[in-house]
Amino acid sequence: MLRVRSPWLLALILGSTLATTAGDPAALQAKQAEVAQLLTQRVQMRVESLQAIAPILTPDQRAKLAQMGPGGSGRRGGHGHQQQGS
């Protein structure tokens, strides 16, 4: 089974499936179910990680974690999307 982290890559996989199956509804539905399962696994892994670390964090660390973005980095745009200074 695929392990994909990026929503953009998931969209690319669906688009590729559309292109290679000539829009076959059954193939698209199967790929959509696979992508949904991957997204569910991603959320479950995130929840499990947070549950594992929560008991060992200080109140200050918990507050900082709450301020971070969904990916835990506090940045927007993910990997490779850094702002350039002028």
Q: pLDDT digits over 3-19, tens only?
A: 556 667 777 777 777 77
**55-78 per-position pLDDT tens digit:** 999 999 989 988 986 665 555 444
Predicted local confidence at residue 5, as pLDDT: 60
Residue given tokens 């290679």 in the structure block: 20
Considering all CA atoms of the chain, what is the largest pairwise distance in Å, rounded to the nearest integer? 54
**DSSP codes, the chain:** ------HHHHHHHHHHHHHHTTT-HHHHHHHHHHHHHHHHHHHHHHHHHHHHHGGGS-HHHHHHHHHS-TTSSS-SS-TT-PPPP-
Kindly report the pTM of this predicted structure.
Answer: 0.55
What mean pLDDT comes out for the span 41-58? 92
